[in-house]
Each structure stands twice: as structure tokens, then as C-alpha cells.
Structure 1
Amino acid sequence: MSSCDSGSSCNSCGSANSCDTDEKQQHTDEMIKKRLSRIKYKIMVMSGKGGVGKSTVSVSLAAMLNSLGYKVGILDADIHGPNIPKMLGITKKGAQSDEDGILPFEPIEGLKVMSVGFLIQNDDDAIIWRASLKHSMIQQFISDVSWGELDFLIVDLPPGTGDEPLSTAHVIGDIDGAVIVTTPQDVALLDSRKSVNFSAKLNIPVYGIVENMSGMLCPHCGEIVNVFKTGGGEKAALELEVPFLGRVPMDPAVVERGDEGKPYVLENSDSEVAKALKKVAEGVLDRTIKAE
């Protein structure tokens, strides 16, 4: 396609719109590169299926890293089910901007958040978008958002290996690692294998597997009851030859804090669940900051 001057029609390519589109994409690519150059580590949090507590792990990992003094961003790439705003107590809609771009929300100092949940007026509205529009939104979440200097960008992905994970990997280009969340059942191996294989095909290092909901912490006696068995995540990590980041038990307080918009790991820092999630954060630090 021949190049053409901005604002003029192009007889060579037949459409000024085509040239305008190329210029816009070039500008977007340049902005993405500029934004990412200020972010040290980009980490995807994935799961093979829904309902495994992936967003809870994403928020907990980000909050834990932030509490350790790191600058962290959370990109909520779950376009159809953006739960991150609710879990961080962000009820405002819309987004402000300055000369540098769209300003992410900052519910905790040093923790920046962007989600499509801020852009819809009614949380009950269904987002019915094709893959191309979702790809464009993820591009904008990087190119147009003023993330600033970050140590970590945590990308909370929807379950599976479809449009959003693929678009995120394509847009960012250089994902530093993936954290895969699963549950203790033996069938977890099937779901985890898909996420591990997805990462391998895109040359994304797997930082490890988290076995979430690994037993329930009894609120009365404090002992752990193995509701869903235990060991499926660890078995998957062993068979798939990737690190195992630990078991995280269930605690009714996790649901309560999530509904209240308060990160559990900050509100219940001495609990067994928080200790397990801290181990997950330490596993990520071992593969990033401590490996420098």
C-alpha cells in the first residue's frame, strides 16, 4: 500500500480512510511501546475454566506486592465479567484524563487499576463485542492509560485461552510470565494443561500454578476441611514440569472482604490464607526482582 499525506485522499490505495487507519495504528503502536517501556514486569493471571478464584488471586497478588513497597497496576482484561472494580471497592464510573492520557483509578497508594467496568454505566449491561473490538479495547488499555512507572502490571484475564488472552499477549508482546490458577480436583490437570500449553506456544514463561480453594478454613476451629480434595494443582505442576506456587485454602472472610471491596490479604494479614497468598507473591518475586 502506498503512503499518502495526512488529511488528503490517496489515489494509489483508493481510500484516505485506509491511510488514516494505518497512521492511527502506527501511533497506537508507538504509545504502547512507550507505556510498556516504563513497566518492568508484565504478568498474566490465567485459568483454564471459570469459578476458580482467579480474580481473587489477581487482586491478592497485586495488593501483596504493593504492601511490600512495589508500584503495581491491575489491568482487568476480563471484558465480559469485569469484577476487579467491585473487589477493590471502586464504585465510580467514567475516567478522568490529563495531557498524558487516561488516569487509572488508585484505590490504594501505589496500586493503579483500569477496567472496562469503569466505562459502562450499568453493571448489569451485557457487553456484546466481537473479537476485533475487544482487541482494540485492550490496545487502548495500554496505549491510552497513564500507567506511569510500574514494577508490576498484573493482567487479570477471563478463563480459557480465547480472544482476550491472545490479544493481551499480542498487544504487550513481551509477557514476562503467567500465573495459572486452578482447583484441587484431579480434573484440574486437564484445565491447567491448556493454559500451560497456551503459554508455551506464545513463549510465555509459566511462573507457576496456584492451587486455590485447597480445603476450607473452618471459622470456628481454624482447621482445614478438604472440601474439594487436595493436590490436583500440585500434581498438575509436577506433570507439566512447571513451578508449584502453593495451596490457598478457602475462608468465608475472603468472600466478605471481596464484597466489601477490601483486599483480604490486607485486612486479614495474619490468616493462613494470607500467608499462602504471600507465598505466591514470593514465588513471583523469586522469578522477577530477586532474579535480577
Structure 2
Amino acid sequence: MLHAAHILCLGSSTSAAGTQAAHLARRTGATLHVMPRPSGRAGAGPTGAGPGSGAEAAVPAHVVETHPRSVTAVLQYVGDADIDLVVADTPLDRGPVPPLATDLTRALTRRLDRPVFVVERQDDPDVVQRLLVPTDLSAPALRAFRHAVALARLYDAAIDVLHVIESVPYVALTPTDRLSLGATTLSERRGRRRLRAFLQEGEAAGVQVQSHIMRGAAADQISRFANQGDVDLMVLSAHGSDAEEGPLGPVGARVLGRVTRPLFLVRASGPSLLGPPDDAA
């Protein structure tokens, strides 16, 4: 189950980010905080009407008159208001672009310690029907998968889990090498065995999960799968440690420079949307 008490929307209440943020706030019972762009319409005041009408209007909203391109102001507000999730959107004046196409979203992914949801310009949150979770089978990647399961339950969506086996040249044909050169490689068998744990966890939560194993360069295969497949949302773990690449790591940074799909970025540590440990398990 996805848990959030406070969700911050970086955009107007009528933007794609506003629609998705209101949808998530309504489903999780969270308070929605709206930080309009300079061109967006602000609310009637500090406690103006919430986004949309009808069911959307029932979402409690607090409209914040702060310039969203001021990263320092956003980070300060996230901490002061104890925000659990930040929702932003891609530029309105361009075609399909990578989720980190703006300085603001790039800065947020590097400096925030909580999930960031970058959406496209769709008006209907229910179009999210297929989630992609690239995984290196690490503990942070498992955390991202568990968030994907919670999102899939919320959107009634299915999950594709993708694991890429990097191609490695062989210098000598040891017995292990010969085993790896067989019809099914040793690394592939290990990957499938560990992916079964992902499948079982998704099935236990009542979510349809399909696993995929591909060979080649991880960034290339993930980008190709995301852009060519019928993917509505990519759920990615940020657990890089390289100072130059930042929290995304080298593979994540390359992927997010190429894909043009909405992104839900999960931090390797820090606040979680999974609720108590027992619920996350």
C-alpha cells in the first residue's frame, strides 16, 4: 500500500502534474500542496480551492506562492512541510522529452532524499497501465520494485521487470566460461532465479508481473525497451555513488538522458512511501 501524508505539486492545479498529484492525494488521503509555475493560475490564497472539481475538489490543498524554479525554495519547503512525494511535469512547449529535461527536475533528483514523480502531459491518470522496473537485483532496486507494486495496485496496472546482463569478453575458456557460453548462461540462470523472488512478491500483492532478461549494455537495452514498448511509467532506483554522476549512477544517468517516458524515482535510502516495515514486506 502506498502511504503519503503530504504531496507537493510543482505546477498549476490544471497541469498534468496537478492532475496526477491530485489523483495520488485523493487515493492516499494525503494533503496536496500546490506550487504554481509563474504562468500557472494560483489559488485564491494560502488555503484556496483545490485542483479540479468534483472529486478532485475534495482533496485538501495548500497553495504556495513560491517560484518553482528556485531549487533552494523548493528544498526548503519540502523539509519544512515534511513532503513525502514531489510531482513535477515536463515542459509544455516541447514534444516528448526526457524526464530530467529541466534544470529544476535535474536538481531535485540530485538533492532531494525522497521520491520524485515526473509526469507527461496526459490529462487522465488512469492511462498508467504498464510499469517498467529496470533492476540490477540489488537491495535498492528491490525497494524500487516494492514501490512499483504499490503504484500498480493504486493504478490497477501491470509491471514489467527488466534485468540486463552486461556482455563481457572471455579471455580464457575455463569450465565456468564454457558453462556460460551454453544455450542458457550461468549469469542468466542466476538472474532468473533471483527474479523469481520479484515475481512471487508481486503475485502475493495481487499484481501481474512479467520478467525480462536481455543481454548487452544496460543503458542501451533499458532505453530501447522503455521507448519502444508500451510503457506508461518507469520506476527507477537512484543508488549511484559516483560524485560526478550523482545519485542516479552512470547507467541511470544515461537512461534518463534517452527515455521519453514518465518517471517515478525512488531513493536508495531516506523516507519511504511504503509505510511501516511490515507493510513494505
TM-score by length of 2: 0.34
